[in-house]
Amino acid sequence: MQNTQKQDTVARFQKVYTTMTQAVKMSELDNGPVETWEFVADQHEQFLNKYLAPYLNIIKKCGLSESGCWTAGNKINRINGSTISEATLAKAALNNGMFIAVEVQDNHTHFYIDIDGAKGSNRLGRDVFRFTLTPTPLNETNYHKIDKPGFYPVGTGLDRDTIISAGPGCSKTSEGQTCGALIVLDGWQIKDDYPW
What is the tens place of the pLDDT at every residue in 71-130?
777 889 999 999 998 888 999 999 999 999 999 998 999 999 999 998 888 999 999 999
Give percent of the chain with pLDDT exceeding 90. Answer: 87
User: DSSP assignment of 93-157, as one string?
Assistant: EETTS-EEEEEE-SS-EEEEEETTTTSS--BBTTTEEEEEEESS-EEETTTEEE-SSEEEETTTT
How confident is the model over 127-139, as pLDDT tens digits?
A: 999 999 999 999 9
Is the pLDDT at 2 greater than 90? The verdict is: no
H/E element, 62: strand 58-63
Is the pLDDT at 27 greater than 80? The verdict is: yes
- Which pLDDT value is given to residue 134? 98
Is the pLDDT at 1 greater than 70? The verdict is: no
Q: What's this model's pTM, rounded to 2 decimal places?
A: 0.95
Is the pLDDT at 176 greater than 80? The verdict is: yes
Is the pLDDT at 156 greater than 80? The verdict is: yes
Residue 140's closest CA among 106, 183, 172?
Answer: 106
Strand 144-146 to strand 150-153: parallel, antiparallel, or no bridges (unpaired)? unpaired
Give percent of the chain with pLDDT exceeding 70. Answer: 99
Q: Phi, psi (5° rounding) for residue 175?
A: -80, -35
pLDDT band at 56 (very low <50, low <70, confident <90, very high): very high
Cα separation of 130 and 17, whole Å?
10
Beta-ladder partners of 85: 75
- Which pLDDT value is given to residue 149? 97
Q: Average pLDDT of 161-190? A: 96
Domain borders along the chain are 2-185
Buried b / exposed e over 114-142, threshold 16 CB at 10 Å, is bbbbeebebbbbbbbbbbbbbbeebeeeb
Cα separation of 40 and 110, whole Å?
12
Coil, strand or helix at 5: helix
